[in-house]
A and B are shown apart, each in its own frame.
Chain A
C-alpha cells in the first residue's frame, strides 16, 4: 500500500463551535492507482488532502487523531523538516486555481527550476532543460519562450498544464489533485484529464483526484470514496459503485444529475434538504434528515463503513442491503 489514511480526524475551532471537518476517516491508495474522493462542497475533501500534507491552518485547525502512512511511515509523526522533504518531492499537490499556488511576480522558469534545484540538486542549465522538457511533455507549445513569461500570461488551461508539469518535476510517487479541472471549460477539462491519465500511466504515479463531478470520477478513477459530512459513506471500485450504489447519498447524487446518454427525464430527482451543520452533527447517521430509506435507529445510532456483498464494496448505512435491491428493482 502506498498511502494509508487511518482514522484521520481534523477539527476547526470556530465561533459557531467545533467543526468536525474530517471525522474518523480511513482509506488507502495502491501504487500507481487513481483514487477519487467525491462529495459536495464542505464535506471535507480538501481538508483531508491538506491533513495528509500537514498543511491544515493552525491554530484554528488541528489534526486530532489518526495516522497517515506513506510507504509505511506515519507522516503525522515526522518533524517539520522531514515533512518539507516529503512535500513536492514524494507527494505533490495540484489545486483548482493554480494562481493561488504560483508567485505572480516570478517567471514560470524561475518557479519551475527552483524545485528541481532544491529537491533534485540540479545545476541551473540542467534544471532549465528539465523545465523545458516538462513543459513540452504536458503539451505547452514553445516551452523555451514560455519559461520567460509570467503566470498571468497563461490561460487557465495552460496554467493547469504547468501545475501538472511542476507536480511531476520531482518524480513524486503520489499526486493529490484537488478539483484540478473544476474551473475549466469542458473541452479544456477533457484535455487536462486525458493528459493526467496518460502521464500517471506512463510514470506509474498514483493519483488522488478530489472532485464533486461524478462524470470526472467515472472517466478517471479506479476506486472511489464518497464523502458526506466529514465521513466516507461509501467505497468501492468505480464500476461497482456506479453500477450498484449501496448508500442512499451516492444513489441520490447519481439520480440528481441529468445525463446526456439517457433519454431526457420529465423531472429531475434532487436530494431534498441540505447538508448538515458540521458543528451540530446528529449522534447517528448524518444523512438521516435527507434520507428516504431511514429507519428508527438511523438518527441515534451511527452506522460504520462495512462490507456489502464482497469485501471491496463498503457502505456506512443500516439499510445498505435494501438500497442496492431497491435500485435493481427500479431499473
Chain B
C-alpha cells in the first residue's frame, strides 16, 4: 500500500461521494473561567458557538480565521478531546459525543491530527523510528517487529525522509523534517480523516510548499479527507475544496473555494482578503487598503447582535440587535450577514 513514490501533479476532480464522512451539527463549547486564584470575575468563554458543517469523503475543508476564533477547539471537539457543551459530531454514521472512552479508542485511530508544532507532540527521548512504530504496535496494526520496521521505513520514505532518519531523535531534525515525522505517524494509523491544525504555520515558506505538496499527494494516494485549519488565506485557497471562515466562535461564511475567493459575501471575509499583503510591490502600490479597525472582542463578553458589528464597515442599526443566521444567500454559498 505504501509503495508509491512521489508523483506528478495530482489529478483534479477527485471523486467525492455525496455522503459526508463527518458532519458537525450545532457544535458549542463553553469554558467556565475566572473566580480562581488569579481573580477576574467568573465568566464563560464562548469558544465555539453553534458551528455546523460537513465534509465529504476525499474532500478538504479549510477552516480560517484569526487567532482565538475557535478553530483548534472545533478540532478538539471533533476528536472528543474536549467534550462539547452541546451539539453532535457524526463520523462514519456514529455520534461521537455519545461514545465512551473505550469506544472512542477505535475512532481516534480513524481520525488523526497533525499539529502546528510537531516538536511539542514528539517524545524527545524516542527515536523517529520508535515514534512512528509505536502506534503500529499499540494498536496491533503491525504486531510483528520485523514487519513493523519495514513499514516504518516505507512510511518514512513516503513522507520524504531517509531510512537513517529512523535512528535519529526529534531535536536532530529541522522543523520541516519534524513535520514529516508527524505526518508519517498520522499516516501509520491508516486514518480516514486528518485534522491538520496549522500544519505549515511554523515553517519557512519554501518548506511550507514542500509539506503542502506532500499533503496533497497523500490525499490523492490514500483517499484522505482533510479538515485544514489555518490562518493563511492563500494557503487555504490552494489546498481546500471548500472553505469556512470563523469569527468569534461562529462560522460567518462557508462555500466552495472559488465562490469564497472570487465572490466573498461576508464583510469580514472581504476585509481578511483585503488585508493579506500581495508579494508584488506594483500591485501593493495601487491597492486600496480596507484596513479593518479595532480588534476582535473577547469571547468572554461577545457583542450583541452580529458579533462582527463593532468592526464592520457596513453595519447598520439592526446589526447591533439581530443575530444573523447562516443563510444560503446563493446556491451553495452561505453567509451570516443581515446585509449579504
User: Which residues does A use to contact B, with CB under 8 Å?
Assistant: 40-41, 155, 157-158, 185-191, 193-194, 212-221, 238-239, 242-243, 252-254, 256-261, 264-272, 274-275
Contacts and interface: CB of A to CB of B under 8 A. Distances in A.
A190 B279 contact: no
A214 B10 CA distance: 27
Contacts of A259: 234, 278-280
A274 B231 CA distance: 24
B234 A274 contact: no
A190 B205 contact: no
A277 to B, nearest CB: 10
Pairs of residues from A and B, 10 with the lowest C-beta to C-beta distance, nearest first: A215-B277, A270-B209, A271-B206, A214-B279, A40-B204, A185-B66, A268-B209, A190-B275, A256-B209, A258-B238
A221 B213 CA distance: 30
Given A216-B277, A274-B176, A267 B291 contact: no
A268 B208 CA distance: 9
A258 B235 contact: yes
Interface in B233-276: 233-235, 237-238, 257, 261, 271-273, 275-276
A261 B278 contact: yes
Contacts of B238: 258, 264-265, 268
B207 interface: yes
Nearest to A215: B277
B9 A267 contact: yes
8 contacts: A190-B289, A215-B277, A220-B277, A260-B278, A264-B237, A265-B238, A266-B9, A275-B204
Residue among B207, B212, B233 with max Cβ neighbours from chain A (10 Å): B207
Contact of A260 (B10, B176, B206, B273): B273
Contacts of B208: 256-257, 270
Residue among B234, B235, B272 with max Cβ neighbours from chain A (10 Å): B234
Contacts of A261: 278, 280, 283
Given A186-B231, A212-B205, A191 B279 contact: no
A270 B291 contact: no
B231 A185 contact: yes
Given A259-B234, A260-B261, A40 B205 contact: yes
B67 interface: yes
A114 to B, nearest CB: 27
Given A40-B205, A274-B174, A190 B292 contact: yes
B207 A194 contact: no
A218 B279 CA distance: 5
A242 B210 contact: no
Contacts of B15: none
A186 B69 CA distance: 13
Given A41-B204, A185-B66, A257 B234 contact: yes
Nearest to B204: A40
Contacts of A242: 279-282
B interface residue count range (under 10 / 10 to 19 / 20 to 34 / 35 or more): 35 or more
Interface in B161-215: 174, 176-177, 204-210, 212-213
A242 B261 CA distance: 24
Nearest to A249: B206
Interface string B212-230: 1100100000000000000
Nearest to B298: A155
Contacts of B177: 274
A58 B3 CA distance: 51
Contacts of B210: 270, 272
Contacts of B280: 218, 242, 259, 261
Contacts of B206: 40, 252-253, 256, 270-271
B211 to A, nearest CB: 8
B288 interface: no
B213 to A, nearest CB: 6
Contacts of A191: 291-293
Given A219-B278, A270-B206, A270-B213, 14 more contacts: A41-B204, A158-B295, A187-B292, A219-B281, A260-B276, A260-B278, A261-B283, A264-B237, A264-B238, A264-B257, A267-B10, A267-B213, A271-B206, A271-B209
Given A186-B231, A187-B291, A258-B238, A219 B205 contact: no
B275 A187 contact: yes
B221 to A, nearest CB: 15
Nearest to B8: A267
Residue among A216, A260, A261 with max Cβ neighbours from chain B (10 Å): A260
A187 B200 CA distance: 20
Residue among A187, A253, A266 with max Cβ neighbours from chain B (10 Å): A187
Given A243-B282, A256-B208, A271-B206, A194 B289 contact: yes
Given A190-B292, A256-B209, A238 B233 contact: no
Contacts of B292: 187, 190-191
Residue among B231, B276, B281 with max Cβ neighbours from chain A (10 Å): B281
Given A242-B279, A242-B281, A212 B213 contact: no
B12 interface: yes
Contacts of B231: 185-186
A238 to B, nearest CB: 4
B213 A218 contact: no
B284 interface: yes
Contacts of B293: 191
A194 B273 CA distance: 16
Interface string B82-119: 00000000000000000000000000000000000000
A260 B233 contact: yes
B234 A214 contact: no
Contacts of B9: 266-267
Contacts of B235: 258
